[in-house]
């Protein structure tokens, strides 16, 4: 095993944990991860690291687009690692970076300070807004901090699947517990819930959201991820213990026989998971911005599902309306409150 570590990351506790865990690894000390990460390293070279450890010197949080879920403008993507140990055919990570080496950022205290500052600023802004309003009106309408603040932690990698090296759960789930009106989403295709159970408490501010698809599509398009049966088992263990669990049905894939495949899938989910205990569900078809679509098509010209998308407007390539409507109706029958991404709810 070969690990590249930035010299500036050397003295962080997280780096020490990694060095302790991988005692026999070949460690190469580097000046800046971008010197490797931003270069194209040919596959199978003896120089290629298994992963890189680095200090994040830029922002760890970026604002989620307004159309993205939870219908408020206080939602953020949280970045603590790049690239994924899984290999889903349709994933945007395939063209987002120059190579597929996982990068773990280790300066967690800096990242936590940034989150803390963001939450403080949002609360301050809202307080000012409330104070501007008439006091009586405020009482009448029971105005308090209006919107929940959301942090989505798995946008740049599957954060639960990476936990063996990042110890993300241990470091961030309890951190989020100290805030009011703030939630973190951990979205995953992994059934390895040991890092969650090892927390030894049931967090109120973290929702564990499992992405699900029919098993035959997992096998074909979601390489390396846990199979459906294992994910359902993990979901049921967490539900039984009282954790907040969400279901994410995305991307719903435009495959041949999609009506039959997805109808059987929804039936299976309704039989095996107690939907009344699920905190939230979210559905989305497969969609790309026009430039992302052109990028993935260039890289994976043989990926069949890409050819079943149509240019919807000048912004997106997505499934045709008829197919989307079929999916929405089907998943609304599973949970009438399920959120539909980028279409009317």
- Site residues for ligand SF4 per CB under 6 A: 84, 86-88, 91, 93, 157-158, 189, 225
Residue 109 CB, nearest approach to ligand SF4 (Å) = 25
Question: ∠ at Cα 150 (158, 317), nearest 5°?
Answer: 60
Q: What is the dihedral of CA 79, 85, 89, 92, to 10 degrees?
A: 10
Closest C-alpha to 119, from 180, 203, 45, 40: 180
Whether cis (ω within 30° of 0) applies to the bond prior to 251 is yes
Provide, rounded to whole angstroms, the least separation between the CB of residue 119 and ligand SF4.
25
Of 110 and 230, the one with the shorter C-beta distance to ligand SF4 is 230
| Closest approach of ligand SF4 to the CB of residue 87, in Å | 6
Comparing CB distances to ligand SF4, the nearer of 88 and 340 is 88
Q: What angle is formed at CA 234 by the lines to CA 233 and CA 239, rounded to 5 degrees?
A: 100
At its nearest, how many Å lie between ligand SF4 and the CB of residue 1? 21
Whether residue 209 contacts residue 153, with contact meaning beta carbons closer than 8 Å, is answered with no
For ligand SF4, the closer of residues 30 and 287 by Cβ is 287
Give the nearer residue to ligand SF4 in terms of CB position, either 5 or 245. Answer: 245
Min dist. Cβ of residue 283 to ligand SF4 (A): 15
CA gap 22, 2 in Å, rounded: 10
> Residue 157 or residue 206: which is nearer to ligand SF4 going by CB?
157
* Other Cβ atoms closer than 10 A to 114: 15
Of 122 and 212, CB closest to ligand SF4: 212
Backbone angles phi, psi at 322, to 5 degrees: -60, -45
Least Cβ distance, residue 245 to ligand SF4 (angstroms): 17
Least spacing, CB of residue 218 vs ligand SF4, in Å: 10
Ramachandran assignment for 171, one of left (phi > 0), alpha (psi -120 to 50 degrees), beta (any other): alpha
| Alpha-carbon span 77 to 64, nearest angstrom | 6
Measure Cα distances from 323 to 91, 142, 219, 270, 289 in Å: 21, 42, 22, 21, 19
Q: Which residue has the tokens 């070279």?
A: 45
Residue 53 or 84: the one with the smaller Cβ distance to ligand SF4 is: 84
Q: In angstroms, what is the minimal distance from the CB of 250 to ligand SF4?
A: 9
Comparing C-alpha atoms, which of 47, 100, 44 is closest to residue 224?
Answer: 100
| Residue indicated by tokens 């009317």 | 344
Separation between Cα atoms, residue 55 and residue 110, nearest integer Å: 10
**Beta carbon nearer to ligand SF4, 5 or 296:** 296
């Amino acid at each position: 095993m070969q690990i590249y570590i930035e010299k500036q990351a050397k003295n962080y506790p997280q780096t020490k944990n990694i060095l302790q865990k991988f005692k026999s690894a070949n460690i190469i000390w580097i000046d800046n991860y971008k010197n490797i990460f931003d270069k194209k390293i040919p596959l199978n070279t003896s120089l290629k690291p298994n992963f890189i450890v680095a200090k994040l010197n830029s922002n760890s949080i970026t604002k989620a687009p307004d159309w993205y879920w939870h219908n408020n403008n206080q939602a953020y993507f949280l970045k603590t690692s790049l690239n994924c140990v899984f290999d889903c055919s349709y994933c945007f990570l395939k063209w987002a970076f120059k190579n597929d080496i996982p990068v773990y950022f280790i300066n967690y205290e800096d990242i936590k300070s940034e989150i803390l500052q963001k939450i403080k600023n949002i609360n301050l802004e809202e307080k000012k807004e409330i104070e501007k309003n008439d006091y009586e009106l405020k009482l009448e309408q029971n105005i308090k901090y209006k919107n929940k603040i959301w942090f989505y932690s798995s946008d740049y990698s599957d954060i639960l699947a990476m936990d063996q090296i990042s110890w993300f759960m241990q470091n961030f789930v309890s951190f989020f517990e100290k805030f009011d009106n703030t939630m973190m989403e951990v979205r995953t295709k992994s059934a390895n819930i040991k890092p969650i159970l090892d927390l030894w408490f049931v967090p109120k501010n973290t929702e564990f959201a499992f992405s699900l698809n029919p098993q035959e599509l997992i096998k074909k398009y979601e390489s390396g991820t846990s199979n459906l049966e294992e994910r359902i088992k993990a979901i049921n263990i967490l539900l039984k213990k009282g954790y907040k669990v969400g279901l994410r049905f995305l991307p719903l894939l435009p495959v041949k026989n999609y009506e039959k495949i997805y109808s059987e899938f929804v039936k299976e989910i309704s039989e095996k998971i107690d939907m009344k205990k699920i905190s939230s569900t979210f559905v989305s078809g497969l969609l790309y911005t026009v430039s992302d679509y052109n990028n993935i098509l260039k890289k994976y010209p043989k990926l069949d599902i890409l050819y079943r998308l149509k240019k919807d407007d000048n912004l997106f390539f997505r499934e045709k309306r008829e197919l989307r409507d079929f999916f929405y109706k089907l998943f609304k029958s599973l949970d009438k409150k399920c959120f539909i991404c980028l279409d009317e709810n």
